[in-house]
Amino acid sequence: MRVLVTGAAGFIGARVAELLLERGDEVIGVDNVNAYYDPALKEARLERLGVHDGFRNLRIDIADAEPLRAAFKKEEPQRVVNLAAQAGVRYSLENPRAYVDSNVTGFLNILENCRHLGTEHLVYASTSSVYGSNRNMPFAVENGADHPVSLYAATKRANEMMAHAYGHLFGIPSTGLRFFTVYGPWGRPDMALFIFTRKMLAGEPIPVFNHGKHRRDFTYIDDIAEGVVRVLDRAPEPDPGYDWMAPTPDASAVPWRVYNIGHGDPVPLMDYIHAIEDELGIKAEMDMLPLQAGDVEATAADVTALEHDFGYVPGTDVKEGVARFVRWYRDYYGI
């Protein structure tokens, strides 16, 4: 297939693009390589993708409608994976407009191009953050997700609703994937694993929010990317048995679905830190801090639907995933 992958220089986008290229697909990457975090890391990911003959990257911001429209018109991708977004819960408190520009306006531009091109299937990133402070664990797609506690989460929930509207109006098949705390080699420097590893190697204290009482459904990057590719290969169909008198959040009479994609086995944050300590051979000095605004205490994914429909079974445990990241980090930074 010819697949357009937005956010191709990003953590998840680069790995998804790599899997598609390895199986012989043609990939058009779209990324503006912005400075939210170190652009050199993004450039290094693109360089790895560039060894494949089937890859080319376009320097485009998805919020910029005309260049994106021109790219769709020229490239005519059969399927689209939208992983470009302004990520991060905490940064949304500082720069909210960046989230509307990228996650709402940018996603609208994606939908409009899929509409006019007649795209076979749009797969896009949502987030576990849409569940807000839901205490009903594990989070299931059958449950509501209409009480976000951060603007980031609100914009990603908006993506799900926008995709449904375009499915209803124009028949665009779309699947939203609610990612649960992705980690691993080539990860984002603003995420805990990267921050903890860097600070521990530098002999600095690590910031531990919620006094270390967090639990997270940490999901290894290869498991996430493999799930994305599986989903991409099969577009959703309208549910013929959908009952408008008893609507449910996880299905629809239009070609639209949302799924959780996570490990399904939440881990205490302190266990995660201990795994880093074990691999580095360093005892962490911890700066215990309160729960941050917009953050949630725990996440846990019910991935039953994804397993049932796509045979998705994540296979990487935290100890092994952390070890792989630390080995990559030492090699990449020469430490």
The residues carrying an active-site annotation are 152
The torsion angles phi and psi of 150, rounded to 5 degrees, stand at: -145, 155
In angstroms, the CA 81 to CA 83 distance is 6
Q: Under the phi-then-psi rule, with left for phi > 0, alpha for psi from -120 to 50, and beta for the rest, what region is 233?
A: alpha
Q: Which secondary-structure segment (H or E) carries 123?
A: strand 121-127
Decide the pairing of beta strands 215-216 and 267-268. Answer: antiparallel
- Asked whether the beta carbons of 314 and 262 are under 8 A apart, the reply is yes
Give the integer Cα–Cα distance in Å for 112 and 295: 32
Residue 291: how many CA atoms within 13 Å on its side-chain side?
A: 11
Cα separations in angstroms, 305 against 231, 262, 308: 12, 12, 5
Compute the residue count for the chain: 335
Distances (CA, A) of 125 to 16, 53, 67, 116, 280: 12, 26, 22, 21, 32
Alpha helices in 50-150, H assignment, sequence order: 65-75, 91-94, 96-99, 106-117
Structure tokens at 157: 């929930």
Q: How far apart are CA 292 and CA 297, in angstroms?
A: 10
DSSP, collapsed to helix, strand or coil, labels residue 95 as coil
